Amino acid sequence: MAKQYFTLTGCNHYFGNDFMKKGMKVKLKKEPKNEYDAEAIMVKMKGIGKVGYVANSAYTVQGDTMSAGRLYDKIGKKAKAKIVYVIPGGAICKIIEETREACGGIPSPEIDEDVDEI
């Protein structure tokens, strides 16, 4: 699996991002019934809950990271990611594990943990 990076955005609508640190893990969950975006992917943290969404607009996607629309069909209903950079109002994250329905729900871990290249 190629490295998949995304921008975590919308944090200011929830708990902000002052507490976020490199290496923290987040969980992604598709929200196909989201009233604003059919490709919405919610981002949650253990013990906190919803912290934002995968960016899905040209105004919120940072650099060469993937938008929710580009990422949507590459992951199953849920995935896990790790924060690699904290940025104003959000973070840049890397997918580390995805659940693919085609594989019978068996997680497919990202083996290469090198985050120095984006």
| Three-class secondary structure of residue 70 per DSSP | helix
Report the C-alpha gap between 27 and 34 in whole angstroms. Answer: 17
The one-letter code for the residue type at 88 is P
Ordered by where they begin, the domains of the chain are: 5-109 (3.30.70.2330)
- pLDDT band per the 50, 70, 90 thresholds, residue 1: low
pLDDT band at 98 (very low <50, low <70, confident <90, very high): confident
HSE of 47 in the Cβ direction (CA atoms, 13 Å)?
3
Render pLDDT for 66-89 as a digit per residue (tens, 0 to 9). Answer: 999 999 988 989 999 999 999 998
Residue 23's nearest CA partner among 91, 76, 77 is 91
Residue with tokens 């992604």: 28
**What residue has token string 């975006």?**
37
